[in-house]
């Protein structure tokens, strides 16, 4: 561990802004440094890293008896979601998509591309799909074979109630697929607590690696049954799994430097106390940031109950002196990259809580936001009354 990695997490590299985004995010100096070496993809040293990576991720998911396996796959997170849907949902299957934001919508769009029958429970931007609704939808449509749930819907920052969704899906005898992209590694997902068929996440979210690959944690029975289902050569999880088990190698060129960086990220993750340690830090990040932003007059999109410790969405202030572009630039000048909103109905922006930073950094984020408002001449950061009425109506 270098001095730069010790709390209170000073700027990652001198002059580099913090990324207050849902990934790629701010990584430690050690993670970046791990990429300074070249690896032969067929070499035993690299194969050993791949094996260790798979074993560590399985352990993180609580698989103690080898019921599950971990299959890493080149590409960003969406490639893994597409691989999961294309490999595990048979051509005559049907998927219930639980949507409450952009990533649920993307899962549905992926199924359209794949030509897989699907239906949607769409809760808009504000609300989680509940277990009872899932049970009702499954009872009403016996053709549904799979349910896909978004663990943390990163577009709104809503933390969906995975446990009750998993219970309803299991009770109805269907299979659960989980997009845990922005949650795995911080929010608990133990295979003994949540019954699922497969889950995906990626290198550059809560495990704090750099982008380049994702991974699927799936039941071996599901991986076995996936043979011959995929429409795609490159996104065939069964083929990737079988080849990896046989040779220890990835099919096709792996992102070697990203994998090396990820090994260091996993080491830091463990040193911090695993998912629990990370959740503690992210929760503190969120609490300090949300408290400060509310003091400054900003309003969160969500009521506290559904606020994730991953990313928080704020309403855009109604004050005509406010513009997102002006605010973004002012924040960037102060060393913080924030994130635009991704909601369908109201104007918003987002501030991430994940990445290599702690509450001291978050305190500085709040100071920067207050300064940015003053520089823009914004006297009141409150959202338009209509946005608050909409929130009250829908959350009520």
Ligand X SMILES: *Cc1c(COP(=O)(O)O)cnc(C)c1O
Residues forming the site for ligand X (CB under 6 A)? 22-23, 76-78, 81, 103, 150, 154, 179, 181-182, 202
Which residues have CB under 8 Å from 368's CB, separation 6+? Answer: 330, 331, 334, 335, 336
Task: Decide: helix, strand or coil at residue 282.
Answer: helix
214/292 with CB nearer ligand X: 214
81/346 with CB nearer ligand X: 81
22/185 with CB nearer ligand X: 22
Q: How far is the CB of 4 from ligand X (least distance, A)?
A: 26
Q: How far is the CB of 308 from ligand X (least distance, A)?
A: 10
Q: How far is the CB of 179 from ligand X (least distance, A)?
A: 5
d(CA 245, CA 339) in angstroms, rounded, equals 39
Record the tokens describing residue 135, joined without a space.
Answer: 């049970």
First-to-last C-alpha distance (Å) of the chain: 48
- φ, ψ of residue 246 to 5 degrees: the values are -80, -40
77/185 with CB nearer ligand X: 77
179/390 with CB nearer ligand X: 179
Which residues have CB under 8 Å from 93's CB, separation 6+? Answer: 116, 117, 145, 146
DSSP annotation of 356 reads S
User: Which residue has the closest beta carbon to ligand X?
Assistant: 77
Q: 337 and 19 in contact (C-beta within 8 Å)? A: yes
d(CA 371, CA 377) in angstroms, rounded, equals 10
> Among 337, 371, 23, which residue's Cα sits nearest to residue 210?
23
Q: How far is the CB of 131 from ligand X (least distance, A)?
A: 20
22/254 with CB nearer ligand X: 22
Q: How far is the CB of 129 from ligand X (least distance, A)?
A: 14
Q: How far is the CB of 73 from ligand X (least distance, A)?
A: 12
Q: How far is the CB of 71 from ligand X (least distance, A)?
A: 17
12/24 with CB nearer ligand X: 24
Record the tokens describing residue 150, joined without a space.
Answer: 């978004």
Record the tokens describing residue 177, joined without a space.
Answer: 């697929």
Residue 349 CB-half CA count within 13 A = 22
């Amino acid at each position: 561990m270098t001095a730069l990695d010790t709390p209170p997490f000073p700027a990652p590299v001198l002059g580099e802004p913090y990324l207050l985004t849902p990934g790629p995010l701010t990584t430690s100096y050690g993670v970046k440094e791990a990429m300074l070496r070249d690896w032969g993809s067929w070499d035993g040293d690299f194969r050993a890293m791949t094996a260790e990576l798979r074993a560590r991720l399985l352990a993180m998911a609580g698989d103690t008896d080898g019921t599950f396996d971990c299959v890493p796959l080149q590409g960003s997170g969406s490639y893994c979601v597409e691989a999961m849907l294309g490999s595990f949902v048979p051509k005559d299957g049907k998927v219930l998509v639980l949507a409450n934001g952009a990533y649920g919508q993307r899962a549905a769009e992926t199924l359209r591309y794949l030509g897989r029958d699907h239906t949607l429970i769409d809760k808009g931007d504000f609300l989680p799909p509940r277990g009872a609704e899932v049970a009702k939808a499954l009872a009403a449509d016996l053709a549904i074979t799979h349910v896909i749930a978004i663990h943390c819907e990163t577009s709104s920052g809503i933390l969906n109630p995975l446990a009750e969704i998993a219970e309803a899906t299991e009770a109805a005898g269907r299979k659960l697929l989980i997009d845990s992209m922005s949650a795995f590694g911080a929010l608990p997902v133990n295979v003994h607590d949540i019954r699922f068929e497969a889950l995906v996440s990626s290198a550059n979210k809560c495990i704090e690696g750099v982008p380049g690959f994702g991974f699927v944690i799936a039941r071996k029975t599901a991986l076995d049954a996936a043979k011959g289902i995929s429409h795609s050569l490159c996104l065939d999880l069964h083929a990737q799994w079988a080849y990896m088990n046989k040779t220890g190698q990835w099919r096709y060129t792996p992102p070697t430097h990203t994998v090396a960086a990820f090994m260091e990220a996993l080491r830091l993750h463990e040193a911090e106390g695993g998912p629990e340690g990370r959740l503690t830090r992210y929760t503190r990040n969120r609490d300090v940031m949300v408290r400060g932003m509310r003091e400054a007059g900003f309003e969160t999109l969500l009521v506290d109950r559904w606020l994730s410790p991953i990313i928080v969405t704020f309403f855009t202030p109604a004050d005509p002196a406010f513009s997102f572009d002006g605010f973004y630039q002012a924040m960037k000048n102060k060393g913080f990259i924030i994130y635009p909103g991704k909601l369908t109905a109201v104007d918003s922006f987002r501030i991430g809580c994940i990445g290599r930073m702690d509450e001291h950094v978050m305190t500085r984020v709040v100071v920067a936001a207050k300064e940015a408002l003053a520089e823009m001449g914004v006297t009141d950061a409150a959202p338009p009354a209509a946005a608050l009425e909409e929130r009250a109506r829908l959350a009520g």
